[in-house]
Amino acid sequence: MADTMQFDLVSPERSLASLQATAVQLPGADGDLTAMPNHAPTITTLRPGIVRVESPEGNAEFAVTGGFAEVTATGTSVLAERALPTSEVTQDVLDGFVSDAAAASENATAENLDELAKRTVDIAAMASELGLSVKG
């Protein structure tokens, strides 16, 4: 049994990571899940949150604002709308996320109002995990 799998993290603008990982923790839309080698093939959408990667070389963390992940037995690919290492998430970046979400909420229709509200909450949760806070 292989003890590592290929992990790729790509955003539309660039590829952020491509490495061998032992486990990847994903913020799935329906709840967190951890993908390890030989995981059943899964496709899941992501909510704003933190992707944690464990690899023999060390761990890495990335903040993502959404997108989806494709998990297979031999690899995990995360296609994030926006992604960056958590070390680069500053208050300014976070404020950007929040204002984007707020702008989206303004154009919300009845159908996706809940979804957008959840998005805002998810961002706040991500912020507190990183030790930042969302300004009112």
Partner 1 sequence: MPNLKDLKNRIESVKSTRKITKAMQMVAAAKLRRAQEAAEAGRPYAERFNAVLGGLAASSGGDSAPKLLSGTGSDQVHMLVVMTAERGLCGGFNSSIAKMARAKAEELIASGKTVKILTVGKKGREQLKRDFEDQMVDHVDLSGVRNVGYDNAQGIANDLIHRFNEGEFDVATIFYNKFESVISQIPTAQQVIPASFDAPAEGAEEVSTVYDYEPSEEGILATLLPSGVATQVFTALLENGASEQGARMSAMDNATRNAGDMIDKLTIQFNRSRQAVITNELIEIISGAEAL
- Minimal distance in Å, beta carbon 136 to partner 1? 25
By CB under 8 A, the count of residues binding partner 1 is 26
Q: Report if residue 95 touches partner 1, rule: CB under 8 A.
A: no
Q: Which helix (H) or strand (E) holds 91?
A: helix 91-106
Of these, 43, 102, 108, 113, which contacts partner 1 (CB under 8 A)?
43
- Minimal distance in Å, beta carbon 42 to partner 1? 4
Dihedral sign for Cα 106, 107, 111, 112, please.
negative
Between 45 and 90, CB nearer to partner 1: 45
- Helix, strand, or coil here: 84? strand
Measured CA to CA, the distance from residue 109 to residue 111 in angstroms comes to: 5
Q: Which helix (H) or strand (E) holds 115?
A: helix 113-129
Of these, 35, 67, 97, 119, which contacts partner 1 (CB under 8 A)?
67
Q: Which helix (H) or strand (E) holds 35?
A: strand 31-35
Of these, 6, 61, 68, 84, which contacts partner 1 (CB under 8 A)?
68
Between 41 and 58, CB nearer to partner 1: 41
Count the neighbouring beta carbons within 10 Å of the beta carbon of residue 85: 13
- Minimal distance in Å, beta carbon 55 to partner 1? 19
Q: Is the CB of residue 98 less than 8 Å from the CB of residue 120?
A: yes
Interaction site with partner 1 (CB under 8 A): 8, 10-15, 28-30, 33, 40-45, 67-68, 70, 72, 77, 79, 81-82, 107
